[in-house]
A = this chain, B = another copy of it.
Amino acid sequence: MSIYNNTFSLRTREKLEIIDVSERVSAIVSDSGIENGLVNVWTVHTTAALAVNENDTSLLEDILSTFTRLIPIESEYHHNLKYKWFSGEQNAHAHILNCLIKSYTAIPLRNKRMALGTWQSILFIELDGPRARSVDIQVMGE
């Protein structure tokens, strides 16, 4: 079995933003030389998340507006009140959304290709930007 690790950085520009990182993940998978196994995509952040869905601009707007309709950016969060002197910590909504959307996705790898369907893209979801972010890729297999 082989295990290959790599990381890439990205800079988000908005408070809420979805960035398609499929090509960057795919390039690392290619570099790994591993043909079959599992591609683990991980982000070390607690106020951003990862999903796999369609990269359609209008849909990405719907995703973000629905998330913040359900879990508003501004509300009487204990976390935000505790750190009310610190503008960088007014982000309970982002933490809560991360618990649902998750910091992690795994994608099966078969014959050098990730098992992504026609409409599946790997989406990095910024929930409290703009910030410098990173994504860790681990390819495990043979």
- Tell me the complex Cα distance, A67–B70, Å: 10
Kindly report how many copies of this chain are found in the complex they form together.
3
Q: How far is the CB of A99 from chain B (nearest CB, A)?
A: 4
Residue A107 CB within 8 A of the other chain: yes
- The secondary-structure label for the interface of chain A is mixed
CB pair A63–B3 under 8 Å, yes or no, is: no
Q: Known: A46-B54, A100-B100. Contact between A36 and B3, CB under 8 A?
A: yes
Q: How many positions in chain A have a CB within 8 Å of any CB in the partner chain? A: 58
Cβ-closest 6 pairs across A and B:
A44-B117, A58-B78, A59-B79, A51-B99, A1-B1, A108-B138
Q: Which of B63, B77, B119, B142 contacts A62 (CB 8 A)?
A: B77
